[in-house]
Structure 1
Amino acid sequence: MEYTIQAAVAGEFDDVVDETNAALQDEGFGVLCDIDIQATLEEKLGEEFRQYRILGACNPPLAYEGLTEEIELGALLPCNVIVYETDDGDVVVSAVDPERLVGIADNDALDSIATEVTDRFERVLAAVTDQFEPASAA
């Protein structure tokens, strides 16, 4: 089951993270949390893992609109965007598919919000891919 929208690029991991953050900001999202999975797994478990970051993205006006329609929507927020390194050394930027995510709530009043967030995430992915070479597997 597909539950994300994504793009793969050839670039330095930290540069892709920076560009993703900038593109999110350009689309009105703030990053409420930035979880470095690689560092966390090393610290907590002593395990090595690929470069992997989870960015908790939130667009306050859209979040407010959604929470006004569905108070329990907060359990699905913020919308996660992940950036990770593949085995081939490419970098994938992947965002939760907002339409699938809010579909869980089964509230038609959220459909337009989900569409708006999807459109913004697609522009974020386009902005990132515009800045880097295509991934080797693409």
Structure 2
Amino acid sequence: MDYTTQTSVRADFDDVVETTIGALEDEEFGVLSDIDLRATFAAKLDEDFRQYRILGACNPSLAHEGLEEDSELGALLPCNVVVYEGDGGAVVVSAVDAAALVGITDDPALESIGTEVRDRFERVLATVDESFDR
């Protein structure tokens, strides 16, 4: 089962992170958390790891609508978007497929929200693509 949608670009890692955050903001998502796994693994495990950031993205109006329908939906929020060093110098941006994610709730009332989030994330990835040479 596919549970993410992604793109990869050849660009500076930090520039891709900033572009991704900007594209999320354009789609009305705030980044509630920004987890730097490289720094965390270095500090906690004394391990070197590739650059890898987990951005916890939330669109407040869509989250509110979903939580009004199902209070347990909060266990699936925020939706994660990851930016990491891929193979061969590429930087990968990967977003959860929110339609697949909310599909596990088996609640038809949430389907449109999942589809809306997925569509917005696809536009975020398109913006990243357009911002950098592939």
Structures share fold, TM-score greater than 0.5: yes
SS at match of 1:48: coil
For 1:16, the equivalent position in structure 2 comes to 16
For 1:96, the equivalent position in structure 2 comes to 96
* CA–CA distance in structure 1, aligned partners of residues 59 and 35 of structure 2: 18
Structure-to-structure mapping, 1:1-138, within 5 angstroms: 1-134=1-134
Deviation at 1:2, TM superposition (A): 1.3
Query: TM-score if structure 2 supplies the norm length?
Result: 0.99
**1:86 aligned partner, one-letter code:** G
* CA–CA distance in structure 1, aligned partners of residues 88 and 2 of structure 2: 22
Deviations 1:95-128 (A, max 9, x none): 0000110011110000110111011000000000
Deviations 1:45-83 (A, max 9, x none): 000000000000000000000001111000000000000
SS at match of 1:73: helix
Query: TM-score if structure 1 supplies the norm length?
Result: 0.96
* CA–CA distance in structure 2, aligned partners of residues 45 and 133 of structure 1: 35
Aligned length: 134
**1:52 aligned partner, one-letter code:** Y
Identity %: 66
Deviation at 1:87, TM superposition (A): 2.8
**2:113 aligned partner, one-letter code:** I
* CA–CA distance in structure 1, aligned partners of residues 96 and 34 of structure 2: 15
**2:17 aligned partner, one-letter code:** V
Moved over 4 A (4+): none
* CA–CA distance in structure 1, aligned partners of residues 92 and 121 of structure 2: 14
**2:47 aligned partner, one-letter code:** E
SS at match of 1:8: strand
